């Protein structure tokens, strides 16, 4: 569904210095798989996401979605950013409808869908409120609805829960999995939380920095639907420990 | 309480002014007492009203001209760096020319009519407005622009649906500056070339030592400035309530 083939991405700073954000990354993500990208800052995970979104073009290599080369943002892709980025001058429902209106595909059915999505995330009753009247968690829920309004087959999420408190993160993790089971789609989820990645994903792609490349791809053999009491299971521990090892190396990590 | 305090202060100020003029027998051709200004103004109410309307006309024409020119100019500035580098120096040039010096030249060019006055008013008022709009259009967070790109919005849609709404608080701060400056510009223009208007009235009445009239005109001008400014504030509050609370 999403395919990276020998992808390189290089950024040039004003001074002329070149930074290789992504070096020779090859990865295949199958249809309706949930894949998490984990890694330290500067490992290129957000860059990889933006390459898939068509917001960036690779210097070398090919990015394909559904077998077609990605040259620009595609209508079958939805994206969620770390900050909700809702339009402050529009109501919640107008915000959710925004992508559809921009793409010119808004119909009466779209409006119904917006109501359904908001209800799905527990925001029914808040359709006519303005973003400033919502908490961070609620705004991000609205942001997720917005990314789903045009029924994308691919959902790209860039640390969407990063700006939220830990309790809301747990809540939205389960909510996201619930939405995904209701409307299956291919999800590429960037995070720097190891437990979050293992809880959500079918496969966890561990990346390393400078230059950004893939260290390893882990298969997470936990049954679905997932829940937080799986955190004590052997498989969960195995996965998180392996990811930690890959990211932090063989340094013994102990509090002094 | 919000209204009472300034009102009380104002009345106290006027009261002490009146008292000081009488107490120290200040000649009315130097500093007229408020009662003298009021008497003069009521006696000449019709004439002052006529001049007020003339000045208001110039102010509004100049203000509207600023808006009409500033908007496309600001859009051009933020469109590409080349445009910005071309337009900015020209803008700064227009600001470095003293308008009072420019006014007589404009009269020769455009004639002794309303035109040079509107042009002067416009030149005085438009610069902060262009800057404010350009700043606002550029201040849009990168993620909102990315959102627009992800939704495959054209540059026009991006401008109208994302950049302009985001820039509203900036635009209004520019409008507030511009309307205040429009009053200044209109008066400057009237000093140089006019046969009507409050600026003209001030110049002619001081020349004939009718000082209370000049003070009256001055007070009317201040009132115009305050009222017009408040009108902009009210428009913002009524049509864009979200802008006042979301602007940081």
Mean pLDDT calculated for residue range B162-183: 93
ipTM of the complex: 0.81
Rg, chain A, Cα only: 19
pLDDT of residue B80: 85
Q: Are A235 and A201 in contact (CB under 8 A)?
A: no
Using CA atoms, how far apart are residues A70 and A64, in angstroms rounded to an integer?
Answer: 5
Closest CA to A133 of A81, A86, A200: A86
Nearest to A187 by CA among A143, A225, A155: A155
Are the CB atoms for B78 and B131 separated by under 8 Å?
A: no
What number is the average pLDDT over the span A232-244?
92
Range B177-199 average pLDDT: 89
Most confidently modeled range among A63-72, B42-51, B80-89: A63-72
| pLDDT at site B71 | 93
Q: Exposed e or buried b for every residue in B165-174, given b needs 16+ CB within 10 A?
A: bbbbbbbbbb
CA distance A196 to chain B (A): 24
Across chain B, what does the average pLDDT equal? 88
Contact: A87, B157; criterion CB under 8 Å = no
pLDDT of residue B193 exceeding 90, the answer is no
| B100-122 mean pLDDT | 87
Contacts 24+ apart (CB under 8 A), B156-164: B157/A102, B159/B75, B161/A102, B162/A87, B163/B78, B163/B136, B163/B137, B164/B137
pLDDT in tens, A116-146: 999 888 898 999 999 999 998 899 999 999 9
Retrieve residue B189's tokens: 């223009």
pTM to 2 decimals? 0.79
Cβ contacts of A76 on chain B, cutoff 8 Å? none
Q: Which residues pair with A190 in a beta bridge?
A: A37, A158
Q: A158 with A111: CB under 8 angstroms? A: no
Interface test with A, best of B81, B149, B151 (most A CBs within 10 A): B151
* Per-residue tokens: A239: 């996965």
Between A and B, how many CB-CB pairs are < 8 A? 52
At A106, is the secondary structure helix, strand, or coil?
Answer: coil
- Mean pLDDT computed over B94-110: 86
Residue A99 sits at the chain B interface (C-beta within 8 Å): yes
At A151-205, the pLDDT tens digits run 899 999 999 998 888 888 888 899 899 889 988 999 999 998 999 999 999 999 9
Rounded average pLDDT over A234-252: 85
| Contact yes or no for A127/A91 (Cβ under 8 A) | yes
Q: How much of chain B, in percent, has pLDDT values that exceed 90?
A: 34
* pLDDT tens digits, A6-65: 999 988 888 888 888 888 899 999 999 999 999 888 788 889 999 999 999 999 999 999
pLDDT of amino acid A256: 54
Do the Cβ atoms of A87 and B165 come within 8 Å? yes
**Spatial distance between the Cα atoms of B87 and A244, rounded to a whole number of angstroms:** 54
């Amino acid at each position: 569904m999403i395919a990276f083939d020998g992808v390189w991405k290089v950024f040039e700073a004003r001074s002329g210095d070149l930074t290789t954000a992504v070096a020779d990354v090859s990865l295949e993500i199958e249809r309706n798989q949930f894949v998490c990208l984990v890694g330290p800052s500067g490992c290129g995970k957000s860059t990889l996401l933006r390459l898939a979104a068509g917001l960036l073009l690779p210097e070398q290599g090919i990015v394909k979605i559904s077998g077609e080369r990605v040259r620009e943002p595609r209508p079958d892709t939805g994206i969620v950013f770390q900050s909700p980025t809702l339009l402050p001058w529009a109501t919640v429902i107008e915000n959710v409808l925004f992508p559809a209106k921009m793409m010119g595909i808004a119909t009466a059915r779209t409006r119904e869908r917006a109501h359904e999505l908001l209800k799905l995330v527990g925001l029914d009753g808040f359709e006519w409120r303005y973003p400033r009247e919502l908490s961070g968690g609620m705004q991000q829920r609205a942001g997720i609805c917005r990314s789903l309004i045009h029924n994308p087959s691919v959902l790209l999420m860039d640390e969407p829960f990063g700006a939220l408190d830990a309790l809301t993160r747990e809540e939205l993790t389960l909510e996201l999995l619930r939405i995904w089971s209701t409307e299956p789609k291919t999800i590429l989820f960037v995070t720097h939380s190891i437990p979050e990645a293992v809880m959500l994903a079918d496969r966890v792609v561990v990346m390393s920095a400078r230059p950004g490349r893939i260290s390893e791809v882990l298969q997470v053999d936990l049954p679905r639907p997932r829940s937080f009491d799986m955190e004590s299971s052997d498989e969960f521990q195995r996965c998180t420990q392996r990811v930690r090892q890959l990211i932090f190396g063989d340094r013994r990590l102990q509090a002094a | 309480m919000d209204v009472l305090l300034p009102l009380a202060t104002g009345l106290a100020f006027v009261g002490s002014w009146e008292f000081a003029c009488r107490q120290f027998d200040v000649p009315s051709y130097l500093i007229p007492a408020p009662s003298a200004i009021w008497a003069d103004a009521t006696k000449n109410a019709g004439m002052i009203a006529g001049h007020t309307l003339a000045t208001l006309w110039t102010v509004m024409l100049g203000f509207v001209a600023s808006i009409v020119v500033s908007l496309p100019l600001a859009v051009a500035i933020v469109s590409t760096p080349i445009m910005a580098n071309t337009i900015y120096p020209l803008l700064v040039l227009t600001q470095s020319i003293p308008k009072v010096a420019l006014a007589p030249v404009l009269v020769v060019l455009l004639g002794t009519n309303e035109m040079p006055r509107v042009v002067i008013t416009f030149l005085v008022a438009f610069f902060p407005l262009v800057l404010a709009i350009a700043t606002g259009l550029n201040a849009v967070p990168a993620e909102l622009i990315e959102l627009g790109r992800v939704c495959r919005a054209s540059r026009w849609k991006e401008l109208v649906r994302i950049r302009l709404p985001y820039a509203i608080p900036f635009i209004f701060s520019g409008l507030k500056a511009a309307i205040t400056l429009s009053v200044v510009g209109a008066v400057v223009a009237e000093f140089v070339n006019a046969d009507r208007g409050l600026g003209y009235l001030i110049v002619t009445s001081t020349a004939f030592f009718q000082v209370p009239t000049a003070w009256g005109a001055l007070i009317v001008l201040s009132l115009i400035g305050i009222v017009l400014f408040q009108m902009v504030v009210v428009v913002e509050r009524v049509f864009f309530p979200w802008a006042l609370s979301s602007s940081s």
